[in-house]
Amino acid sequence: MRTIKRVGIIVNPKISTVPVVIQELENWFRERNIEFELDNETASIVNRQGIPKSEIPKCCDLIVAMGGDGTLLSVARILKTHLVPILAVNLGSLGFLTEITLEEMFPTLELVIAGKATLQQRMMIDVSVIRAGKCINSYQGLNDVVINKGVLARIIDINVKIDNNFVATYKADGIIVGTPTGSTAYTLSAGGSILYPTLDAMVVTPIASHTLTFRSLVVPDSSVVELSLKPTQESIFMTVDGQIGLNLQGKDRVSVKKSSNYVELIQSPEKSFFDILRQKLKWGER
């Protein structure tokens, strides 16, 4: 790892313990002569001067993201081409991605400062929405892209192509294209496969398929997955990482492929991926 000279701190402001945790973190960095920056929203909680969230990756050697998985997902998308390691600290509940507990935060930071922390690279996806032959919006995600029906919409028909090969027309409430990281998110609840986080693959999973034989499909990360709607489809919405997105129109196409950018997450020194699965999913318990 690079030498840590300046750290960005981004937290979920809705958690009541945040001010105390920020103060402890600031004191810890001051004692070690490490500079730190707070994004504007975080700074407002403790009456400090902050900087725009999007500027954090440009000036910091490490980002401490505290909250739940949603906090980490929002941080991952602002990195763009800046490869800054993220220490994701779980202040929420489930937290598959924010695997570092509050108790583990400072011991793990000691490892980071000493250059002994373990980093894990996670792939991201590039999502493009094509309308009338033109790309009207593009997004980047760490977890997944989801196309689903609106509240009043019926089952929707989604044509799926992989590397320009027609797969099938999925009749379902929607469809998910997820990364290995996202396989423990919406994909998991829809009955999709759990992928090891560093696997070179994507997973395509229908949501409440009308045809019971449709199953989750794992494809190489070199694949381009194209999802298209019928001209008459209405009230269809696309979301990326469950946080950003737009309303789709009939004949829209959504292209999903592996991004050239990726995220580096600092791993817990105490837990493996399988430890986390057992803990979060209660495997082996009665």
Q: What is the pLDDT of residues 213-262, one digit of tens each?
A: 899 999 999 999 999 998 888 789 999 999 999 999 989 999 999 999 99
Q: How many CB atoms lie within 10 A of CB 101?
A: 15
Q: What is the mean pLDDT of residues 27-48?
A: 93
In this prediction, residue 226 carries a pLDDT of 98
pTM (2 decimals)?
A: 0.92
Residue pLDDT, tens place only, 22-33 = 999 999 999 999
d(CA 264, CA 31): 26
The distance from CA 34 to its chain's CA centroid, rounded to whole angstroms, is 28
Q: What is the mean pLDDT of residues 32-52?
A: 93
Residue pLDDT, tens place only, 94-117 = 677 888 888 999 999 999 999 999
- Closest by CA to 65, choosing from 18, 11, 28, 5, is 11
- CATH superfamily entry for domain 124-261: Probable inorganic polyphosphate/atp-NAD kinase; domain 2 (2.60.200.30)
In this prediction, residue 191 carries a pLDDT of 93
Catalytic residue among 39, 69, 144, 241: 69
* 154 contacts: CB under 8 Å, gap ≥ 6: none
Q: Tell me phi and psi for residue 134, to 5 degrees.
A: -120, 145
d(CA 22, CA 210): 48
In this prediction, residue 33 carries a pLDDT of 95
In this predicted structure, the answer to whether residue 152 has a pLDDT above a threshold of 70 is no
Active site residue 126: no
Q: What is the mean pLDDT of residues 190-197?
A: 95
Q: How many helices (H) and strands (E) does the chain have?
A: 7, 16
CATH code for the part of the protein at 6-118+267-281? 3.40.50.10330
DSSP labels, 222-278: T-EEEEEE-TT--SEEEEETTTEEEEE-TT-EEEEEEEEEEEEEEPPSS--HHHHHH
- What residue spans in the chain does CATH classification 2.60.200.30 cover? 124-261
Q: Strand pairing of 134-141 and 201-207? A: unpaired
- What residue spans in the chain does CATH classification 3.40.50.10330 cover? 6-118+267-281
For 109, what's the count of Cα atoms within 13 Å in the CB-facing half-sphere?
A: 24
Q: What is the mean pLDDT of residues 45-68?
A: 93
Comparing 151 with 203, the larger pLDDT belongs to 203
